[in-house]
Amino acid sequence: MNRQTSVDWSNHKLLHRNRLANRSYYIPYPDTASALTYQRQNSPWFKLLNGVWKFYYAPSPWQAPADFHKDEFDVSAWDEIDVPSCWQMKGYGYPHYSNVVYPFPVDPPNVPTENPTGCYRRDFYVPAEWMGSQIILRFEGVDSAFHVWVNGQEAGYSQVSRMPSEFDITSLVHQGMNTVSVRVYQWSDGSYLEDQDMWWLSGIFRDVYLLARPRVQIWDYFIRTQLDSEYKDAVLDVDVVLNNLGNKNLEGCRLEMTLLDAEGSVIGSREAANITLKNGQNSLNMQLPVANPQKWSAESPYLYHVVLNLTNSSGQTIEAVACRTGFRSVELKDGLLLINGKAVKFKGVDRHEHHPVLGRAVPYETMLKDILLMKQHNINAVRTSHYPPDPKFYDLCDEYGIYLIDETDLETHGFLDNINRLSDDPDWEEAYIDRIARMVERDKNHPSVILWSLGNESGFGRNHVAMYKWAKQKDPTRLVHYEGESSMHFADENYELQACDVHSTMYTSVETMDQVGRKSMKYPHIMCEYAHAMGNGPGTLKEYWETFYAHKRLQGGFVWEWLDHGILRYDEKGESYYAYGGDFGDQPNDGNFVIDGLVFPDRKPSPGLIEYKKIIEPVKVEEVDLSKGRVRIINRYDFINLNHLQASWSLEADGRVLQQGILPIPDIDAGEQKEVIVPYEVPANIEPATDYWLNIRFILAADTNWAKQGHAVAWSQFRLPLSASAAPKKIAMAYPADARENGNELIVEGVNFSLKFDMVYGVLTSWIYEGKHLLRTGPRINFWRAPIDNEMHIRHEWKKFGINAMKHRIDSFEWSKHNDCIEVSVESRVAPPILSWGWLVKYTYRIYGSGDVILEVSGLPQGSSLPNTLPRIGLQMTIPKDLERFQWYGRGPGESYVDSKEANPFGVYTANVEELYTPYVYPQENGNRSEVGWVAATDLNGMGLLAVGMPELNFSAHLYTMENLEEAKHTNELVKQDFITLNLDYRHNGLGTNSCGPGPLEKYQLHTEEFKFAVRLTGFSRNAVSPSELSKKTI
């Protein structure tokens, strides 16, 4: 290949060569019956070219074989590669992650000489039946730019990675075997417009296929459903473009448009008869009034079929195209975004395309899994951040019911000196419009698409205004989103929006959103990114949604983001882990900032997704008078009633179901509420120190396409106002405890237990119950936790104060014997090296003859300069590894924290120690259970340790040390110990979302203040007494 001063891939004025005009996505068929199957292989005019191609990787275009596209060039010795795929995922080059910066010098439109280049070749067969047809070669996605040749002749050039490119190769092919050659460039001038927060991955990563088209054809169509002012009756309004590729006019053609319902019954039709098709493009419009069609929404995604059938003068079908459509409207009215006349709440997520093994080449099954998980977790909307995904994803959103903000493949975040640089440069206007035009044209027939988005984090300039004008002229039926401009109006209310129809902000605080909601403005507000779901979190979802529901103009938001973009790797021991930025030697990189999703890379839900499901559940129950069982059911759906749900109730105590029944649901329209009576009966014998819980569950009454009958949609729980007349039972004190000193040890003994204290270090070193060792070390005050991702900023402040390196000085160790107990008092100063601040901590142990130990801990901060907040306050200890079976009463079954706990109802739960661990891709604090009344750790025989909160505690248990959780960068670096680290905590700091967003709300912050808490510890055997029963007894 000769070196040139000007090349196609560094010329922002050359967007393509020979690429066909934009059109909507569809497959042509020879008849209506085949078209209605929507199976591409049922069209004899479709040939998929996915599969194994020959492949050559070069470090730059100049080092790639110049003539590889020629027929005589021998590629037999080349490697082979799957298409679709990303070549970095196949071992060529390396994945590179950056969030903001470009990984090359910023000098648009020029790109580096080091421009990895992939050369692809394969043969394909053209049957005799195709000769005489127009033959089109279509690429659904190639990153980032490419040339294509057929049989040694250039077919064209294109760019824009996440958009299709079609080439007319009719004149280049012959009957029989043919060859297609593609040269793909990792970097192009288009890369300056594709600086999204994701992995840089290259290659032919979506479908490649051939289409044979009749010389007279349906080239494009645009379906619009116009609802009347009552949102009842509609007009099916369809623009159609017919192409005549012949040299003369064709007379007597007929185009029929038929509307069928979901079952295939004909609703109505229109025809344009005796059409004369002149050479070139021919446009016509067809309209069909439809009386009260079923409306499409995310809650009721009813789809009709529109079939276009083109016939010749003899009545023979030339070509047929089918399209699913839904009747729905989108409008801006009275400051609200209305769908079918209703102001919906977007319970959304931002979704990138990623697969842990295949990169951006996401299989259909994975797309479907995403949709099913979203529906099962009450999510109703997706922002296609930050580019249009595979077209098959839109079909799924239409079918299953997901609202879409369809986002242009555009981001220029890396222009650090002037982010507006390209966006306000008229020389780049054509490139900007090309990107939105191709997206709109491809996706315009999907009812799921509610808003077009002009891209992400590209500053603001005249090119956005030009994009907006183009989109509104082409499609006035939808609204346009662009956070980059609406944030300007957010800062200055006098600013008039030029390029968007809704307000949109990122990571705005709850307090600010509440202020915004109180204002009267002419645009609705949607948070296009919030609740950054990186690692353990996000916190504060409850408060965000309380605020959204409090103000009609706040129409929800999209959690950043759906998925951790981890790449599956194996270490030298064969242990798997997920890689992130920097793990491939990629520089510069943004580390694990790409690991920020509600689901793990393998699509397993994180605790954050479970919490989100609960917060956005579509049915809410409020107490009215619990003593009489009276509650209020609120329907938070936007369109449908609750007839698809079945409600049940149960009365539970101590993990046992005492009563249960079916709760009839009255007719409650969307947005309405009604009171019902739950017919529970007050138990005849109210147990002392026992909580009675009324649980109400809403499940699917029948199978749906996204979940089976019985799937839990929503639930509520209420503590009933029941109290016992009897006092709790007291623990029998039949035998006294005794104590003696042995050197530096204090030994406290009872009939069936012994404890040892180190009087020098002031710690309990041994606890034996019935011959069973219950303790290895501790308990000791602890203020630290392995920092979570949402503490990536505050952790530096904490470490500056040395909270992670506290030292324990024992100032006094005293013990005394009383009539009923042995009392041990330890006074300690806990402080960091270097600094003068610290804590005066006092431990008071009261050890009873029953074997019960009540431990009171108090702390008083000292010093003139104190940290504002702390990670945690609690006790840390280690226990033998065989005490691995945990049971507790409190919130569960999953992990919970003070600002992320709503998804975990109160109950009695059981788990082994490994099940208490949450495998965050980047190890960190995890696995806490909150508002716990008691927790028991026992061996296989039921012998172990019981901890009772006074009145409650948090607990977590791990086979990994806290230090290991902090130091490890990947899960394979975690080392299981031969002991369990048990944390019995008083309080934790909230999670917040400060990896990218606000920290914990004030009410969830753990401030450096005087504290005091207590916990009761005792050895026990489940074969003698249940931990629930034992926890209720008092000293």
Domain with residue 743: its CATH number is: 2.70.98.10
Encoded amino acid at 841, one letter: V
**Is 318 part of any domain?**
yes
Asked if residue 544 has pLDDT above 90, the reply is: yes
Q: Cα dihedral sign for 1016, 1022, 1023, 1025?
A: positive
Q: Cα dihedral sign for 216, 222, 225, 229?
A: negative
CB atoms inside a 10 Å sphere around CB 80: 11
Q: How many domains does the chain fold into?
A: 5
CB 849 within 8 A of CB 750: yes
Q: Cα dihedral sign for 415, 421, 424, 429?
A: negative
User: Dihedral, CA atoms, 143, 158, 114, 108, nearest 10 degrees?
Assistant: -100
Q: Which residue has the tokens 């529109």?
A: 306
User: Dihedral, CA atoms, 146, 151, 152, 156, nearest 10 degrees?
Assistant: -30
Confidence label for 493 from pLDDT (cuts 50, 70 and 90) = confident
Pair (804, 913) in one structural domain: yes
Pair (129, 175) in one structural domain: yes
Residue 213 has which token pair?
Answer: 């088209």
Distance CA 954, CA 958 (A): 14
CA nearest to 548, candidates 344, 334, 384: 344
Pair (515, 638) in one structural domain: no
CB 442 within 8 A of CB 323: no
Distance CA 755, CA 816 (A): 15
Residue 65's domain spans which residues?
Answer: 8-26+34-213
391-400 and 429-443 are packed helices; what angle lies between their axes, rounded to 10 degrees?
Answer: 50
CB 228 within 8 A of CB 150: no
Residue 980, beta-bridge partner list: 879
Distance CA 822, CA 118 (A): 77
Pair (715, 752) in one structural domain: no
Element (H, E) at 431: helix 429-443
Pair (1028, 907) in one structural domain: yes
213, 231, 256: which is the final residue of a domain? 213
State in Å, rounded, how far the first CA of the chain is from the last one.
88
Pair (360, 502) in one structural domain: yes
Provide the 3-class DSSP secondary structure of residue 336. strand
CA nearest to 87, candidates 63, 113, 116: 116
The DSSP output letter for 589 is: -
**Is 732 part of any domain?**
no
Range of weakest confidence among 197-211, 522-536, 709-723, 732-746 = 732-746
Which sequence positions are flagged as catalytic?
457, 529
What is the overall mean pLDDT for the chain? 97
SS (H, E, C) 511-545: HHHHHHHHCCCCCCEEEEEECCCCCCCCCCHHHHH
CB 531 within 8 A of CB 548: no
SS (H, E, C) 133-196: CEEEEEECCEECEEEEEECCEEEEEEECCCCCEEEECHHHCCCEEEEEEEEEECCCHHHHHECC
Q: Cα dihedral sign for 352, 406, 190, 145?
A: positive
**Is 344 part of any domain?**
no
Range of weakest confidence among 215-224, 484-493, 652-661 = 484-493
Percent of the chain past pLDDT 90, that is, above it, reads 96
pLDDT of residue 615: 98
Asked if residue 956 has pLDDT above 80, the reply is: yes
Residue 511 has phi, psi (to 5 degrees) of -60, -45
Residue 618 has which token pair?
Answer: 């579509």
CB 829 within 8 A of CB 809: yes
Distance CA 549, CA 799 (A): 39
Pair (607, 696) in one structural domain: no
Edge-to-edge, what's the strand order for the sheet holding 134-139? Answer: 46-48, 208-213, 134-139, 165-168
pLDDT of residue 2: 57
Distance CA 226, CA 236 (A): 7
pLDDT of residue 3: 59
**Is 315 part of any domain?**
yes
CA nearest to 615, candidates 514, 530, 704: 530
pLDDT of residue 734: 67
CA 447 → CA 189, 381, 420, distances in Å? 33, 13, 33
Pair (535, 420) in one structural domain: yes
Pair (772, 791) in one structural domain: yes
**Is 125 part of any domain?**
yes
Pair (880, 940) in one structural domain: yes
672: domain CATH number is: 2.60.40.10
Residue 1004 has phi, psi (to 5 degrees) of -105, 5
CA 378 → CA 100, 203, 381, 426, distances in Å? 31, 35, 10, 43
432: domain CATH number is: 3.20.20.80
Percent of the chain past pLDDT 70, that is, above it, reads 99
Pair (610, 621) in one structural domain: no
Asked if residue 4 has pLDDT above 70, the reply is: no
Distance CA 941, CA 935 (A): 17
Taking only the tens place, the pLDDT of each residue in 244-269 is 999 899 999 999 999 999 999 999 99
- Side-chain-side CA neighbours of residue 37 (13 Å): 11
pLDDT of residue 304: 98
Sequence-distant (≥ 6) Cβ neighbours of residue 87 within 8 angstroms: 55, 57, 81, 93, 116, 118, 202, 203
SS (H, E, C) 595-661: CCCCECCCCCECHHHHHHHHHCCCEEEEEEEHHHCEEEEEECCCCCCCCCEEEEEEEEECCEEEEEE
Confidence label for 735 from pLDDT (cuts 50, 70 and 90) = confident
178, 197, 213: which is the final residue of a domain? 213
**Is 958 part of any domain?**
yes
Pair (208, 243) in one structural domain: no
Residue 1028 has phi, psi (to 5 degrees) of -65, -45
Helix-strand-coil percent breakdown of the chain, rounded to 5?
Answer: 15, 40, 45
Taking only the tens place, the pLDDT of each residue in 398-455 is 999 999 999 999 999 999 999 999 999 999 999 999 999 999 999 999 999 999 999 9
Asked if residue 730 has pLDDT above 90, the reply is: no
Residue 556, beta-bridge partner list: 346
Confidence label for 727 from pLDDT (cuts 50, 70 and 90) = confident
Enter the pTM of the model. 0.97
Asked if residue 631 has pLDDT above 80, the reply is: yes
Spell out the long-range contacts of 795-798 with Cβ–Cβ below 8 A and sequence spacing 24 or more: 797/867, 797/868, 798/867, 798/869, 798/870, 798/871
CA 926 → CA 217, 962, 970, 999, distances in Å? 59, 10, 14, 18
CB 842 within 8 A of CB 1014: no
Residues, the chain, total? 1035
Taking only the tens place, the pLDDT of each residue in 306-328 is 999 999 999 999 999 999 999 99
Asked if residue 1 has pLDDT above 90, the reply is: no
Residue 715, beta-bridge partner list: 697
Distance CA 432, CA 410 (A): 8
Taking only the tens place, the pLDDT of each residue in 969-994 is 999 999 999 999 999 999 999 999 99
213, 231, 257: which is the final residue of a domain? 213
Asked if residue 636 has pLDDT above 80, the reply is: yes
Provide the 3-class DSSP secondary structure of residue 773. strand
- Give the CA angle between residues 946, 950, 956 to the nearest 5°: 50
CB 361 within 8 A of CB 206: yes
Distance CA 477, CA 332 (A): 10
CA 503 → CA 140, 335, 386, 528, 596, distances in Å? 32, 10, 18, 9, 25
pLDDT of residue 487: 77
Distance CA 323, CA 35 (A): 9
Taking only the tens place, the pLDDT of each residue in 22-75 is 999 999 999 999 999 999 999 999 999 999 999 999 999 999 999 999 999 999
DSSP readout, 282-316?
EEEEEEEEESSPPBB-SSSB--EEEEEEEE-TTS-
Sequence-distant (≥ 6) Cβ neighbours of residue 797 within 8 angstroms: 867, 868
